[in-house]
Structure 1
Amino acid sequence: MIRLADGQWERIRKHFPEEHIADGRPGRKPIAARQVLEAVLWILNTGAQWHMLPQCYPNYKTVHRRFQSWCRSEVLRRILTDIANELRDKGALDEEECFIDATFAMAKGGGAEIGPTRRGKGLKIMAIVDRHGLPLSVSTHAANHHEVRLGAALLRFLHDRG
């Protein structure tokens, strides 16, 4: 079970607008963003499927829906950028030597962001890590884009630093 320390939560709390919901609002109260984020972190840490989320967390459908919403509204991106910039300012990121790698993932069902290739439909996942393996930038793209262009986009994002 993954739990955020109070200090960690206070550091990123401002990025979650749904935490500021009025008490007088009718209907069922939404599940707190902290609980949902802890469930998302469990999924990301274990690599488990959404439906395998332990019962100590909120319902997996709620967690997945909120995760998708946070991805679309770039809440998670802002949090990760903010934390990375703080680590960079403290000197905790070692950017003198970085590594870029990519992988291809099949996506037989397709979708708007899936690109056809000779190997079939799929997407590319690219990442830049520092010399200690700490992720600096991660992105997904349609598989029909060349790695050089995707790597250049990752480097631009890393250089812009938020």
Structure 2
Amino acid sequence: MTRRPSGGGRQRLFAQQQELAVVDLVRADNAIRLHQLRQKILADRQVFNNINHVSITTIRRILGKHSITMKQLYRVPFERNSDRVKGLRAEYVWRILAMDGAAQPHEFIFIDEAGFDLSKTRRRGRNAMEQACGNIQVTAIHGWFRHARGYFPRCLAGEDIACDVDEVLWPDPNRRRDP
């Protein structure tokens, strides 16, 4: 006895290639909103030629099917480890060290951009689901403090600087340079 194929109900709106194209649109711009994604789908007549109307719920369902969920946006400039930025970083450290060694007293004044409101920027986006984070142990925090003290020498050496979200807390013992 074989199972009878489903005959009722609504047919699939998106083909498998079209679903993957939607996922690629999100991976290209993870801060895209569902309304903007719907506009891009309806505007692209090459890939989505059979789609004349699509609901936001359908788009969300497709993204959930492909394990794309809402996450905290990762706003780090891609040029942070370019040669130009490394040079500027090393120059800044040398200037600070020279001012610390100067005989005359000095003060550091950091100017804040008061007109820039961080609460108005988009803070959440979509990204693929990965492994969940576990509890952060006290030893990991001590490792982070020990690691953060080596920031200036790495700037002077022109090494790549990584942020806390992609930094290795426990690097290879052969590369570790604890002060």
- Normalising by structure 2, we get a TM-score of 0.27
Where is the strand percentage greater, Structure 1 or Structure 2?
1
Question: Which protein shows a greater Rg?
Answer: 2
* Bigger RCO of structures 1 and 2 (CA < 8 A, at least 6 apart): 2
